[in-house]
Structure 1
Amino acid sequence: MCTDAVWDSSNLEKLRRKMLHFAFLQLRNEEWAEDAVQEALTSAYTKQQQFQEGAQWQTWVWAILKNKILDTLRRRQAELQHISPSEEERILDDIYDHAFNDDGHWQPQYRPQAWQMPDEAVRQNDFMRILDYCLEHLPEHTARIFMLREIMGLEVKEICMQTGIGSDNCYTILSRARNGLRLCLQRNWFDDNTGK
């Protein structure tokens, strides 16, 4: 059974805001996002006896939200808003294009560096905070496609149906997102944490 601490109003409101931001990014509709978050939190509260104490409570709630979002995506597919690439995404493409020479090899200054993964709990939390920051600063359309694939677990074919883009475009956007995240993590985590 969950403790009362997880249902504390300040903790719950902070979690709800993060969930709402994520749901809106996926659903592109404030009302649908609010409904998905409300349904997820209501379901978590009414089914809290099913929560396994050894698990992370927030992970369990996010899994419920993920399922609510997927249900909404599938139910409202015809009503979803399709977004065209933004200027920010074109800038990411330009950066990506300049990262390679004519032979398709990395330019020296853009070559991915070896990363050492954080192994302490505090550093792991800091890393996750920076990763969240990087995800939030991807262009909205790019972040949405990336999260549908990597967080929501949708196949490219289903992402294309949900968003109205072609599979080649989807793979391009996923590559753009990964490159954008890599650059952001390099600047905000790995370069700042070398030698520490």
Structure 2
Amino acid sequence: MRHCLRSRALYPAPGDWLGRLAPALEGRALRLGLAIRPLEDWWPSALAVLATRGAPMPDRQALMEIAIAPRGWREVVTEIAAAFPGAPLTIWSEAFAARPAAAAALLGVAEDPDAPAEPAPVHNARPEGAALFTEDEAGALAEQTETDLAWLRAGAGGLGRFVEDPDPCPDPCPGPPESAITDLEEEPQ
């Protein structure tokens, strides 16, 4: 998160640092997952976490630069997909925060029998009453979120699948795409 604040951008260059992992994972069947939340909630939450770790709060200029930055979830998804071409990528919304078993099921991870009953408490939620951004800045972040969500709902350019709401998921929630299941079955032991 410090890197995000320093660069005033949402997860700058994830492909670079994820790409460093690629050689270690070569030949393995991978499933990638990414949880997203509205930028107008993500940034205040991230800044609040950084503040608890001793980071100074950004000044007005930095907040304005964050709000008008053209980088959103679309860019993050695109770079993650490029770092692991061919690996199925599932993106889910903040609605899954209180339903971790449903999020895990999207990736085909078996439910932990020792996990607490759902819904789980949501930690790291956006601090209430923390009006860090002006109304216009918050509006710009919300507009970027809506643009990203429209792209995700339209198929994410074929780079991944987006699951927005855990409620319509039957019990258990459907696992990864069939291609991922096939890939796993063909993985040498």
TM-score, structure 2 normalization: 0.27
The structure with the largest alpha-carbon Rg is 1
- Please identify which structure carries the higher helix content: 1
Q: Which structure has more RCO (C-alpha within 8 Å, separation ≥ 6)?
A: 2
- Please identify which structure carries the higher strand content: 2
TM-score, structure 1 normalization: 0.27
